[in-house]
Amino acid sequence: MKRYTPMIQQYLKIKAEYEDAFLFFRLGDFYELFFEDAIKASQELEITLTARDGGVDEKIPMCGVPYHSAQGYIETLVNRGYKVAIAEQLDDPKQTKGMVRREVVQLITPGTMMEGKSIRDKVNNYISTITAFPDETFGLAFCDLSTGESKVTLITEGWTDCINELATIQTKEIVLDENFPTEFSKELKERLSVTISYENEINISDNFEAIIAPLSQNKLIQTAARLLNYLYRTQKRSLDHMQPIETYQIRQYMKMDYYSKRNLELTETIRTKGKKGSLLWLLDETKTAMGGRLLKQWIDRPLISQEKIESRLHIVEQLKENFFERQELREKLTKVYDIERLAGKVAFGNVNARDLVNLKTTLYQIPDLMDTLSNIKDEKIQQLAGTLDPCSEIADLIERSIVDHPPISIKEGNMIRDGYHEQLDMYRDASRNGKTWIAELEKAEREKTGIKSLKIGFNRVFGYYIEVTKANLHLLPKDRNYERKQTLTNAERFITPELKEKESMILEAEEKSVDLEYELFLEIRNQVKEFIPRLQTLAKKLSEIDCLQCFAEISENRKYTKPVFNKKGKLTIKEGRHPVVEKVMDVQTYVPNDCIMNKETEILLITGPNMSGKSTFMRQVALTAILAQIGCFVPAEHAELPIFDQIFTRIGAADDLISGQSTFMVEMLEARNAIRGATENSLILFDEIGRGTSTYDGMALAQAMIEYIHDKIGAKTLFSTHYHELTALEKSLKKLKNVHVSAIEKNGQVVFLHKIKEGPTDKSYGIHVAKLADMPAELIQRAETILQKFEKNGQSIKQNADEQQGEKMLEENRPFENEKDNQNEVAQLSFFDDLAMEKNTSKSKKEQKILSELKNINLLEMTPIDAMNALYQLQKKLK
C-alpha cells in the first residue's frame, strides 16, 4: 500500500470492503475502475481498457464510464448477476485541499434495483432470504424494494418447498448467513441461477420496528431482520416506504410445485420462457402496472377459501353485467401511474418533478373512479369504492407547487409555479426584468451607434457582452465607455459599466432562483413522504380493482361462465375449452369437451392417438380449476367444481441437464411429488407415465401408480396413456373410467376429431402422425410392415391369453387394496411372455392366414354388403 499513490490507496481500502462487487470510483466526471475490476468490466461492457500510473513500476489497468451515462453500464452488470458499489466524492474538489473524501453510498445488486429498463412495470423484482433452523424448518422472507412490499413465512415441510416458493416468486437475489448449509446454497445457484449474498446480523434496529410489528414468532423475526439489515447496510438510506411485513402460510393457497406451474404454463411458456402463450398472457387486460403485478401473484397463488373466491367472483359478475361502468373504469385506470414504485422513489430520494405530476394525475382520477363504482347498485362494490382514498392534500400541494410540464432534472430550475413562494417570485422578477432591460439596451445602442448588427449576447465564460463586427468598429462613439472584453476573427466584444451591473443582478437572481427551487422541491418531497402509507394502501385497492375489471373484461369478451363450487367432490365441466389454445386458434374451429367426475369416478384413463388432444384436455381441466380459484369466470358452458388444495402434473418430457437427471428420472420425481403430497382434495394430471423406460417397466409402473392413487389417495386424476392394455383396469378399479379422444381413418389418412368419448380407443395412429411430420415415404412403408408383424404376433398372444385367463388378462391382485381386505390373489402382467409365444407357434398356419386376411380388410372403404360377404367367406374358411 505504501508504494501506491494516495488516491489508489484510498481505492484499495474501499475495495477491500466490497470484494464481491465492481467498485465504481468517482473521479471528476467519470467513474473509474482499476485492477481486476477494470479488466473484467472492460470485457463485460465492451469498453476500452487503458492503464495509469499508480506509484508503482507497472501501470495499473484502468477503464471508466462517464458519470452522466453510468446508469446503463451499471444496469448491464447487474442484469448479468454482478453487484456494483458506487463510491462518490463527499467533498467539492475545488474547495478541498488534499485528498477528496470518498465513500460507497449504495451497493446495487440484482435484488435491489429500483429503476431501469430491466425493471419491468408488471413484474416484481424480489430479493429473498432463507434461514435454516436446527429443527429442519426454514424461514423465508422476500421483498420488492421498489414497491416496499414484503412477506415472510415459516416452511415446515422441507427444503423442496423452499425451492418451489423461490421459483414461484422468481427471486433475483438470495441473502444467506455464512453458516447456511453448503449443499443447499449450491442447489440454489444451480437450479435458480440467482445471486447469493450474505448477512449475519439478525438484531432488530429501531428503524425496523414498524416493519416487523406484525410478527410475534421469533423465527419469523430473525428471518425478516436478516433481510432488512442487508437492505439497510447496502442501500445506506431511508427505507421509510417499506410496508409492514405480511405473514402467510403455503397452505393458505392452492399448492403447485415448480414442475406443475411450468407444465401448465401459468406465467411463461415451456419452449420460449416468455409471457406470450401463457395463462398470464391470456388474462392480462390490466390497465396499470400495479394491477399487472397483482394479477401474476393471484395466478401463482390461487385461493382455497370458498368465501374469498366467491367474493371475487361476485364483484367480477357485477362488473361484467355493467358494461358502461366497466369501460369508464378502464378509461380512468389508464391514467393511473405506478404509485407503489413512486412511493419507493420518494423514500429513496430519487423522485423528480415529473413523477409528482404523474402522482397528481393519478389522484385526480380517484373521485371519478369512486363515482363510477358507486353507480353500480351492489353493496360490495360500493364498499370497495368507499375504501379509496383520494389523498386530496397531496394532489392540492402538487397542483399549487409544480408546473404542469417540469424538466426531468431537479437541479436546473423551472419546475416551481409562480406564486408558490414569495422569495422565488422576487428572484424571477429580477431575472426577467433584467433580461427585458438588456433587450431594451440592445435596441438603444443600435439607435445610438447606427450599427444595426450590434447585439448583446451571453456565455458562461465572459457573461453578457456587446458584440460589434470589425467592419462597424469605426461607428462606435469615442465618448462612450466601451471596454474591450474579447477579440474574435470578425468581431469585437465589449462590456460597459451599466451592462456589468445588470449582469451581476441577473446572474445572482438566476443562481439563487435555481438553488431555492431545489430547496423548495425537497420540502415538497418530504411532505409527500409523510403520505407514503396512505398511497400504498390506495395502490393495493387500485390493483385489486384493476384485476377484477380485467377478469370481467376477459369473461365477457371470451364468453366465460361463472363457476359454482361444491363440497361433494363433484367435477362437472360442460363444453370446456383450453383458454390459451382457444385464443391462439380460430374459436370457430375449437372443439369443446365435457369432463364429468365424482366420488364414483375419480380417475379418467385417457387413450387416443398422438396429437389428438389428450394433453390439451388434461391441461384445460387444471386451468379451469385455477381460473375458478383466482376468482375469474371459466371457459365452459357450465362448471361445477370442488375446491382443490393442490394440483400436480406430469406432462411433457425434458432432461434436467443442470442436475444431471434424465427424462425418466424427472418423470419419476414429478410423479413422486404427486403420490407423496396429494390428498383426496387434489388434482393429478399424469401424461403417459412410464414411456421413458422399457415397455414392461413402463406398464408395470403405470398400473401400480393408478392402483395406488385409486386405493390410497382418492384424488381426482386424469391419466393418459398409450398402453392400451391398461384399459382393462376399468373392470377391476371401480372408480376408474375409460375415455378416449376420437379419430377416424379415411383413405389412409387420419382425421383427429379432438372429441372426448367414453370407452377406450382401439388404435394409436402413430405412423399416421409420422406421415403428417413428412417422414420419408420409404421409412413410413417400412414402419407399416414392421407394425403388421408386431400386431400379428400381438393378436395371437392375446387370443392365447384369453384362452388361459379369459377377460381377466390384465387383472392383478392390488397389494394396496389387499392391505384392506386381503381377499384377492396375486397375479402378474403378461403381455409378451415366453409361454404365450411358445403356444402361439402351435396355431395352425391356416388360422394365421385367415387372421391376417381379416386384419388387412379396410372396412371404411367397403360397402355394408361387401363387408358382410367378406366376413361370410372368412367364417366359411374357418369352418
Gap between the terminal Cα atoms of the chain: 107
Q: Measured between alpha carbons, how far is 736 from 738 in angstroms, rounded to an integer?
A: 7
Q: Measured between alpha carbons, how far is 870 from 874 in angstroms, rounded to an integer?
A: 6
What would the pLDDT profile of 200-235 be if each residue is shown by its tens digit?
999 888 888 889 999 999 999 999 999 999 999 999
Cell numbers 417570485: residue: 425
Q: Which CATH architecture has domain 6-108?
A: 3-Layer(aba) Sandwich (3.40)
3-class secondary-structure state, position 349: coil
Q: Measured between alpha carbons, how far is 126 from 144 in angstroms, rounded to an integer?
A: 5
- H/E segment holding residue 501: helix 497-529
Superfamily grouping for domain 564-765:
P-loop containing nucleotide triphosphate hydrolases (3.40.50.300)
DSSP per-residue codes, 407-451: -S-SSS---BPTTS-HHHHHHHHHHHHHHHHHHHHHHHHHHHH--
- In degrees, rounded to 5, the angle at the alpha carbon of residue 451 between the alpha carbons of residues 445 and 456 is 50
- Give the list of residues 6+ apart from residue 446 with CB closer than 8 angstroms, or none: 452, 454
Q: Measured between alpha carbons, how far is 761 from 743 in angstroms, rounded to an integer?
A: 9
Residue 794's Cβ-count burial label (10 Å; 0-12, 13-18, 19+) is: middle
- Give the list of residues 6+ apart from residue 271 with CB closer than 8 angstroms, or none: none
3-class secondary-structure state, position 645: coil
CB 815 within 8 A of CB 824: no
3-class secondary-structure state, position 104: strand
Q: Measured between alpha carbons, how far is 682 from 531 in angstroms, rounded to an integer?
A: 44
Cell numbers 393495493: residue: 540
Q: Which of 218, 188, 192 is nearest to 204 (CA)?
A: 218
Q: How many residues does the chain have?
A: 879
What would the pLDDT profile of 685-725 be if each residue is shown by its tens digit?
998 887 766 677 788 888 989 999 999 999 999 999 888 88
**AA identity, residue 744:** I
- Give the list of residues 6+ apart from residue 352 with CB closer than 8 angstroms, or none: 406, 408, 409, 410
- The annotation status of 118 as a binding-site residue, yes or no, is no
User: What does the DSSP 8-state code read for residue 253?
Assistant: B
Cell of 595: 369432463
Within 10 angstroms of residue 632's Cβ, the number of other Cβ atoms is: 30
- The annotation status of 609 as a binding-site residue, yes or no, is yes
Within 10 angstroms of residue 504's Cβ, the number of other Cβ atoms is: 13
> 764-769 contacts: CB < 8 A, separation 24 or more?
764/609, 764/610, 764/722, 764/724, 765/609, 765/610, 765/612, 766/609, 766/610, 768/609, 769/609, 769/610, 769/611
**AA identity, residue 637:** E
Cell of 479: 465618448
Cell of 236: 445506506
**AA identity, residue 17:** E
What are the start-end ranges of the E strands in 772-863? none
- The annotation status of 608 as a binding-site residue, yes or no, is yes
pLDDT at 811: 45
- The annotation status of 837 as a binding-site residue, yes or no, is no
Fold of domain 284-391+531-557:
MutS, DNA mismatch repair protein; Chain A, domain 3 (1.10.1420)
Within 10 angstroms of residue 435's Cβ, the number of other Cβ atoms is: 16
DSSP per-residue codes, 357-385: HHHHHHHHHHHHHHHHHHTS--HHHHHHH
Share of the chain above pLDDT 90, in %: 57
- Give the list of residues 6+ apart from residue 805 with CB closer than 8 angstroms, or none: none
Angle between helices 379-386 and 306-321 (to 10 degrees): 90
- The annotation status of 800 as a binding-site residue, yes or no, is no
pLDDT at 587: 58
Cell of 106: 449504495
Buried b vs exposed e over 672-693: b needs ≥16 C-beta within 10 Å?
ebbbebbeebbbbbbbbbbbbb
Q: Measured between alpha carbons, how far is 375 from 382 in angstroms, rounded to an integer?
A: 8
Looking at the DSSP bridge assignments, the partners of residue 176 are 198
* CATH topology agreement for domains 126-252 and 564-765: no
Which parts of the chain register pLDDT below 50? Answer: 655-660, 796-813, 817-842
- The CATH code of domain 422-503 reads 1.10.1420.10
Task: Compute and round to an integer the Cα radius of gyration of the chain.
Answer: 38
Cell of 624: 379451469
Q: Which of 256, 354, 365, 357 is nearest to 304 (CA)?
A: 256
**AA identity, residue 503:** E
**AA identity, residue 393:** E
Sequence ranges of the domains in the chain: 6-108, 126-252, 284-391+531-557, 422-503, 564-765, 775-843, 849-878
Using CA atoms, how far residue 112 sits from 9, 78, 125, 176, 254, in Å, is 29, 10, 8, 15, 29
pLDDT at 772: 65
pLDDT at 145: 94
- For 863, phi then psi, to 5°, come to -75, 160
Q: Measured between alpha carbons, how far is 300 from 632 in angstroms, rounded to an integer?
A: 14
Helix, strand, coil percentages for the chain (3-state, nearest 5):
50, 20, 35
CB 87 within 8 A of CB 93: no
Q: Measured between alpha carbons, how far is 435 from 255 in angstroms, rounded to an integer?
A: 70
Q: Measured between alpha carbons, how far is 545 from 551 in angstroms, rounded to an integer?
A: 10
DSSP per-residue codes, 5-28: -HHHHHHHHHHTT-TTSEEEEEET
pLDDT at 752: 73
Q: HSE on the CB side for 21, CA within 13 Å?
A: 25
Q: Measured between alpha carbons, how far is 761 from 750 in angstroms, rounded to an integer?
A: 14
Residue 875's Cβ-count burial label (10 Å; 0-12, 13-18, 19+) is: exposed
In 16-101, which ranges are continuous DSSP H helix?
35-45, 70-79
Q: Measured between alpha carbons, how far is 551 from 690 in angstroms, rounded to an integer?
A: 39
- In degrees, rounded to 5, the angle at the alpha carbon of residue 807 between the alpha carbons of residues 804 and 812 is 85
pLDDT at 796: 45
Looking at the DSSP bridge assignments, the partners of residue 750 are 745
Q: HSE on the CB side for 302, CA within 13 Å?
A: 26
**AA identity, residue 471:** A
Q: Which of 619, 547, 553 is nearest to 580 (CA)?
A: 619
CB 74 within 8 A of CB 84: yes
Cell of 672: 413422486
Superfamily grouping for domain 126-252:
MutS, connector domain (3.30.420.110)
Q: HSE on the CB side for 417, CA within 13 Å?
A: 14
- The annotation status of 614 as a binding-site residue, yes or no, is yes
User: What does the DSSP 8-state code read for residue 325?
Assistant: H
Q: Which of 326, 381, 307, 310 is nearest to 628 (CA)?
A: 310
- Give the list of residues 6+ apart from residue 844 with CB closer than 8 angstroms, or none: none
Q: Measured between alpha carbons, how far is 842 from 346 in angstroms, rounded to an integer?
A: 89
